[in-house]
Every structure is written in C-alpha cells, then in structure tokens.
C-alpha cells in the first residue's frame, strides 16, 4: 500500500478491522480481475463475527477504498459466490487506480 494512502485522512478514519480487511483483500488482488471476497471468509480471517466483518466492508466502500463489481450469489453451499470488489488504489484491467478514497472527510 502506498505511504500517501496510509497517511491519508480516509485511511486514518478506518477501524482496525477495516484496515485488516484492506490487507486481506490486497493479497488476492490481480490486475485483470476483481477480488472475490466475502463476509464469512473475512470474519474467519479477522477473528471476528460476521456483523463486524460486514461493517468493515461497508466502511471500506463508504470511504472509497473498494467498489463492488458483482454481487454475491447464494443458491446452495456448492453454488455460492462471494462479492467481487475493485480495489480503488490498485490498477484494474487497463486503467490506472481511481483512488476514490482521496476525499476530504471534513466536507
């Protein structure tokens, strides 16, 4: 993660769970496809309950660190698919990062 992002007002406003989730999602990042990551997996990896993990996703979305590209699908245990996310501070396909997290929280 870039230092300027780690020093940003938006990043400093994140909870510790949201910061952990950023790292977990970046581990799964590839330039040409979104990151598939769900609430249940996040809760297990962060040692928290699903409600806390969901709040971390919500906060990352609200502050512009992630953007939902595809909703989750749940038909049965064998056909489940986690939501797909674009990490806004990373390149995606042939585009540069949008850095949507660069917001003035005082406005």
In CATH, what number is assigned to the domain containing residue 24?
1.10.10.10
What does pTM read for this prediction? 0.86
Let me know if residue 94 belongs to a domain. Answer: no
| Rounded CA separation 76/86 (Å) | 25
66 within 8 A of 101, measured Cβ to Cβ: no
Count structural domains, the chain: 1
Q: What's the CA gap between 47 and 41, in Å, rounded?
A: 10
Helix or strand holding residue 99 (H, E) = none
92, part of any domain: no
Kind plus residue range of the DSSP H or E element containing 68? strand 66-70
The parent domain of residue 39 ranges over 3-87
Reading the chain (107 residues) residue by residue, the pLDDT tens digits are 889 999 999 999 999 999 999 999 999 999 999 999 999 999 999 999 999 999 999 999 999 999 999 886 665 666 666 789 999 999 999 999 999 999 766 54
Q: Is residue 97 part of a domain?
A: no
């Amino acid at each position: 993660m870039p230092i300027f992002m780690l020093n940003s007002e938006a990043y400093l406003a994140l909870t510790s769970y949201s910061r952990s989730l950023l790292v977990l999602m970046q581990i799964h990042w590839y330039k040409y496809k979104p990151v598939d990551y769900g609430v249940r997996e996040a809760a297990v990896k962060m040692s928290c309950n699903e409600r806390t993990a969901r709040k971390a996703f919500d906060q990352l979305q609200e502050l512009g660190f992630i953007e939902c590209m595809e909703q989750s699908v749940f038909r049965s245990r064998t056909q489940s698919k986690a939501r797909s996310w674009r990490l806004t501070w990373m390149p995606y396909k042939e585009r540069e990062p949008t850095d949507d997290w660069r917001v003035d929280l005082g406005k």
